[in-house]
Amino acid sequence: MTDFFAGIPQIRYEGEGSSNEFAFRHYNPDEVILGKRMEDHLRFAVAWWHSFAWPGGDPFGGQTFQRPWFGDTLELAKLKADVAFEMFDILGAPFFCFHDADIRPEGATFAENKRNLEEIVDHIGTRMESSKTKLLWGTANLFTHRRFMSGAATNPDPDVFAWSAATVKTCMDATKKLGGANYVLWGGREGYETLLNTDLGREAENAGRFLQMVVDYKHKIGFQGAILIEPKPQEPSKHQYDYDVATVYGFLKRFGLENEVKLNVEQGHAILAGHSFEHELALAASLGILGSIDMNRNDYQSGWDTDQFPNNHPEMALAYYEVLRAGGFTTGGTNFDAKLRRQSLDPEDLILAHVGGMDTCARALKAAARLWEDGALERARADRYAGWETPEAKAMLGSSLDEIEARVLAEGLNPEPRSGRQERLENLWNRFV
């Protein structure tokens, strides 16, 4: 045991009336909602990078956090893992997520990176033997190091492509070894800053081939989890190739991967793309590619991804309603891709940020589940499209423009608009939230 979280009790559910800040008011893992335990609905995960690797900097100032595990040795990486599992146990977190660079020190060569990763994965595996916490997903950091400044899979240098592909292989091996439920790819530098030095066609073809290799390797090693792509616009590249759900789906279709790859959709990224979180979730579900979510929030007064912990349960309820409509998570879950504010220095802050986020999500899930169980919103939706269930409407979709014109003339069709009833449905929603 380390002493980093000394004096902080295990967080337990005490109900809405509790005044204990080190307790859950809404998140009751064993509460059954729509026939499933709350823990199994939400499938919370802690993000290793923000919780244990982020130093607390911003574009105008450097490190504010002083953590005893900060450094570039395997001994400190193991200490970081020990602290992480102590936090998982305090929270009762069912999952965690990691990038390779979060858990291992950076080596001077690829071979050293691989050795470091394998050693720390063995250490994490040992810690998992005595913990309930499992791996939701692993991924490779192909964006921080200067070698990736022009991309990874889309880099103009084939040696960077090779380094990136080899790194993903080691991370997929690590994820499989730790029993991960998914493997995620986030193209943080897969984009461009200027067309003056960019070959869009070549970069797209290379990115498509890269992903095909990932899928091929998944099947080769017998990895049973899902391969996920995480869309994000603008940041850090001016033009990101994985801008939003629709863009990524078009990419998957182009390379014949729409049945092999799903999406990890993040709230903050949806906002940066000019969408709502629920829009991106609903679209992904309608396309059959909703896999998992990163839960956070953005500061709507800032133009970048602030990665704050969620605290707006009505907003999150809209998101979880779409998750419920899609049938819930299978291999995916709710990962807190959220970080403390750089002034929040204390160990208690790290625990309480997750407590608040988990409670917010639980409250949102309960509201969404009540409305889903009531059925009024779905009945209103079905009523609005009821005309399309008639034999005539279905037959029309199989006819031609000539035939449709003839019918309109013969029947003297002159349709009047019908109310969309938006405000009535908003009032209905607010009754449950």
Query: Residue 318 pLDDT more than 90?
Result: yes
Q: Name residue 397's amino acid.
A: L
Selected catalytic residue, list 100, 102, 244, 305: 102
The whole-angstrom separation of Cα 369 and Cα 351 is 27
Quick one: average pLDDT of 208-218? 98
- Do residues 14 and 322 make contact, with C-beta atoms less than 8 angstroms apart? no
Q: How many CB atoms lie within 10 A of CB 355?
A: 21
**What pTM was computed for the model?**
0.97
pLDDT, tens only, 340-381: 999 999 999 999 999 999 999 999 999 999 999 999 999 999
Task: Name, in order, each residue with C-beta under 8 angstroms of 6's C-beta and a sequence gap of 6 or more.
Answer: none
Q: Say how many CA atoms lie within 13 Å of 87 toward its Cβ.
A: 24
pLDDT (mean) for 283-291: 98
Beta strands per DSSP E along 242-350: 261-266, 290-294, 334-336
Chain segment 12-56, per-residue pLDDT in tens: 999 999 999 999 999 999 999 999 999 999 999 999 999 999 999
The answer on pLDDT for 302 being more than 90 is no
d(CA 354, CA 51): 10
Residue 110 has pLDDT above 90, yes or no: yes
The reported pLDDT for the residue numbered 237 is 86
Task: Identify the pLDDT of residue 1.
Answer: 82
User: Given pLDDT bands bounded at 50, 70 and 90, which one contains residue 321?
Assistant: very high
Q: How many whole angstroms separate alpha carbon 293 and alpha carbon 45?
A: 10
Q: Is the pLDDT of residue 63 over 90?
A: yes
Split at pLDDT 50, 70, 90, the class of 300 is: confident
Average pLDDT on 83-107 reads 98
Q: Which residue has the tokens 């279905």?
A: 394
- Contact criterion met (CB below 8 Å) for 310 and 319: no
For residue 235, pLDDT over 90 is answered with no
In three-state secondary structure terms, 59 is coil
Give the CA angle between residues 104, 107, 112 to the nearest 5°: 90
Q: Is the pLDDT of residue 303 over 90?
A: no
Of 99, 269, 279, 313, catalytic: 99
Which residue carries 């994985």 as its tokens?
242
Q: CA–CA separation, 201 vs 204, rounded Å?
A: 5
In this model, does residue 410 exceed pLDDT 90? yes
pLDDT of 236 > 90? The answer is: no
Of the candidates 347, 358, 360, 359, the residue with the CA atom closest to the CA atom of residue 87: 347
**Tokens 């002034």 belong to residue:** 343
Q: Cα dist. 38→187, 229, 369, 412 in Å?
A: 32, 26, 11, 54
Reply yes or no on whether 99 is catalytic.
yes
C-alpha count within 13 angstroms, C-beta hemisphere, residue 146: 0
Compute the average pLDDT of residues 174-195: 96
Which sign, positive or negative, has the C-alpha torsion 114, 115, 119, 120? negative
Phi, psi of 392 (to 5 degrees): -65, -45
CB proximity list for 248: less than 8 A, separation 6 or greater: 229, 231, 242, 263, 289
Predicted pLDDT of residue 232: 94
Q: How far is Cα 139 from Cα 97, in angstroms, rounded to an integer?
A: 8
Q: Which long-range contacts (CB under 8 A, 24 or more apart) does 7-16 make?
A: 8/90, 8/347, 8/348, 8/351, 9/90, 10/89, 10/90, 10/92, 11/90, 11/91, 11/92, 11/351, 11/355
- Does residue 111 carry a pLDDT above 90? yes
What is the distance between the alpha carbons of residues 188 and 149, in angstroms, rounded to a whole number?
Answer: 10
Residues linked to residue 240 through DSSP beta bridges, in sequence order: 191
Known catalytic membership, residue 313 = no
- For the chain, report the end-to-end CA distance as a whole number of angstroms: 41
Question: Residue 2 has what pLDDT?
Answer: 93
